[in-house]
Amino acid sequence: MKFLDEAKIWVKAGDGGDGVIAFRREKYIEFGGPDGGNGGKGGDIIVEAVPGLNTLIDYRYAQHFKARKGGNGAGSDRTGAGSEDVVLKVPVGTVVLDEDKETVLADLTVAGQRATICVGGDGGHGNAHFKTSTNRAPRRADKGYPGEERWLWLRLKLIADAGLVGLPNAGKSTFLSVASAARPKIADYPFTTLTPQLGVVRLNATEEFVLADIPGLIEGAHEGAGLGTRFLGHVERCAVLLHLIDGSQPDPVRAYETVRAELEGYGGGLSEKPEIIALNKTDAMTPQARASRVKALERATGRPVRLISGATQEGVPETLRALADTIYRHRENQPG
């Protein structure tokens, strides 16, 4: 299934049904009076997060959604039927934005969570509503009120606990494959990963977390270079970032600073998230290169740097434990 994490749709709630003008006509009853009923309510537009979906591909070709109009009123003071709501099913983690792509209308982070985006119009009053002691035979009935309508942006932000960031060919896909049961595409050329990949990391029978592999960033990504920063939204919800750096290249500090600059250029609080720095591909490094590059990175970042190898799994269990500890601390600090 094609991965689609953004879609623009048009939605319209149903209009209210019309009220009617009617008068009671029964044998042997001299004064019947008005008995026109009210119109029914139009259907709402509701967005619901459901489990089992991980893409917005359903909204790639069907982009217009309209609820039905409420039923009209009838004689004998009968109210028109209300119309059924239209429920749009989206993946967990979907953000509903207004047409300006900035105003958040709903953020659906839990399966079963719902949000009413457009409210259906109320039904119009029939002439029985307007009967008074001085106006005993009103000949007025109102039309139904129009339902709300708007253009929306649906944007999917995957629910992951930890995110993998780094330059292309930093070894993110390999790390994800050895840390989880995910099987991302792995090759020796840049931009092997074109869409975000998720994997569940199980440390033991009771501890697990979700790890997201984000396509590689390059210099100028926040301005649209390469794949740009389009997929960085998928790590906005992460509790911690694992920054992988290719240790086989001669200047790991430059690689680190390039990615950090793109995170800061993107915004969204990514540059403030807890970060674990790991120098990857230690199997392709000499002992002297290990020592010098770790020292250079620690001097430039002011943080400890881990040595790992996705190919040999050196340092991987310890890094996963550090990620898990950071995630659990984050969960404990969350309200509720």
Is 320 annotated as contributing to ligand binding? no
111 shares its domain with 228? no
Q: What is the pLDDT of residue 252?
A: 84
Is 94 annotated as contributing to ligand binding? no
89 shares its domain with 220? no
Q: Where is the domain boundary, 138, 156, 174?
A: 156
What HEC string does the chain produce? CCCCCEEEEEEECCCCCCCCCCECCCCCCCCCCECCCCCCCCCCEEEEEECCCCCCHHHCCCCEEECCCCCCCECCCECCCCCCCEEEEEECCEEEECCCCCCEEEEECCCCCEEEEECCCCCCCCHHHHCCCCCCCCCCCCCCCCCCEEEEEEEECCCCCEEEECCCCCCHHHHHHHHCCCCCCCCCCCCCCCCCEEEEEECCCCCEEEEEECCCCCCCHHHCCCCCCHHHHHHCCCCEEEEEEECCCCCHHHHHHHHHHHHHHHCCCHHHCCEEEEEECHHHCCHHHHHHHHHHHHHHHCCCEEECCCCCCCCHHHHHHHHHHHHHHHHHHCCC
Is 193 annotated as contributing to ligand binding? yes
Is 112 annotated as contributing to ligand binding? no
Is 317 annotated as contributing to ligand binding? no
Is 281 annotated as contributing to ligand binding? yes
Q: What is the pLDDT of residue 284?
A: 78
150 shares its domain with 184? no
31 shares its domain with 127? yes
Query: pTM for the complete prediction?
Result: 0.72
The CATH number given to whatever domain includes residue 104 is 2.70.210.12
Q: Where is the domain boundary, 156, 187, 219?
A: 156
Q: Where is the domain boundary, 114, 132, 156?
A: 156
Q: What is the pLDDT of residue 182?
A: 55
315 shares its domain with 185? yes
Is 34 annotated as contributing to ligand binding? no
Is 191 annotated as contributing to ligand binding? yes
Is 319 annotated as contributing to ligand binding? no
The CATH number given to whatever domain includes residue 209 is 3.40.50.300
Is 132 annotated as contributing to ligand binding? no
Structural domain count, the chain: 2
Q: What is the pLDDT of residue 227?
A: 45
23 shares its domain with 48? yes
144 shares its domain with 223? no
Is 8 annotated as contributing to ligand binding? no
Is 79 annotated as contributing to ligand binding? no
62 shares its domain with 100? yes
205 shares its domain with 321? yes
174 shares its domain with 299? yes
Is 70 annotated as contributing to ligand binding? no
Domain encompassing residue 123 = 1-156
167 shares its domain with 152? no
Q: What is the pLDDT of residue 238?
A: 83
Give the mean pLDDT per block of 10 residues along the chain (336 residues).
78 94 81 88 94 83 92 90 93 90 89 93 92 88 93 85 82 80 50 64 81 70 51 77 85 86 78 86 82 87 85 85 86 66
132 shares its domain with 243? no
Q: What is the pLDDT of residue 47?
A: 95
